[in-house]
Structure 1
Amino acid sequence: MKKLEDAPAERNSERTKAQRRDFAMGLLDNAQRYNSFTNYIGEAGINVWTKRTRGRARQGDRAVRIVQERRGQNLTMTFAVIVMNGLVHHELHLVGMTAERFSQLLHFTSPQCNPGQEVSFIFDNARAHGRAADANLPAKFEIQYLPPSSPFLNICEKAFAL
């Protein structure tokens, strides 16, 4: 028996596959335009709480672990990678990502790009990314959202899975 994993029902629907294909074709069409200045941004929530799963006890006694009610501190890890420059920005927050923090991340990342070069920011459709267009970035910056259920199209998302 294997552990079951939940998969979104729309993950491999024809509509989602078409959106992925269109997104990938758009990346290929714009490859010359952006000249490797595609900025991938990703974030993940992590919890630093750990526990042992095995213990020792005398024969006949149960191995018991005393735990606290809380599971520990949640952290949000965020970073940006530009194809040509590698890792250009990273952050660690003790709280979740908000639209304001995400807007600040875009502003911290944008100076890392070549002045005058057109740059594409690529990230998922997380709630905090919804107002990214309101970040008042210069006109040379384009914002692209990943298609639904397509984290494999963002190199940052793959790093979080390791």
Structure 2
Amino acid sequence: MDINKIVTTPLSVNFTTSKKVHTDTNNLFSIETHTGTKNISSLEIKTAKTLKTLSEKYDITNATFQELKKISSALYKADEISLKEHALITFDLGRATESIKQDIPSVSHNFTMYATKANKSGERNWIKEFQARADQAFGYGNIIGAQANLSIVAILQKLKH
């Protein structure tokens, strides 16, 4: 069957990408490591500096949501994470939980959309939180959601002390 005979206009799909291309990735530098000399790009140096700065300023295993948002914003501004990853990290489950509680009076006052508990100061281990979200998504058969959360876990593990 020729679909162009059925549909009056031919079907076509255009794919576009909007990824930023780093122009300095070909600038290689050599550094001495305990295993010898290693060539690294200026982009890798920039990434390492960004991660080091953030890990010195914040403890991702004991941070508030406000601190997590600052970390995510810094990573996004430094082109270390995508807009999708930034959105996943900064989606406020606390506000979503409160909205559900207000809209549905029969919901328990203990209900939360978070997968892990925060301490009394509102700090939580965000690596464990996103791992638990990935596990929940996988348990529900949501493979895409599980993979997205695992991607966040991988990013946050780079910030671990």
Q: Establish whether TM, by shorter chain, passes 0.5.
A: no
* TM-score, with structure 2 as normaliser: 0.24
Structure (1/2) with the larger helix percentage = 2
* TM-score, with structure 1 as normaliser: 0.24
Structure (1/2) with the larger strand percentage = 1
Larger Rg: 2
Q: Which has the higher contact order (CA 8 A, sep 6+)?
A: 1
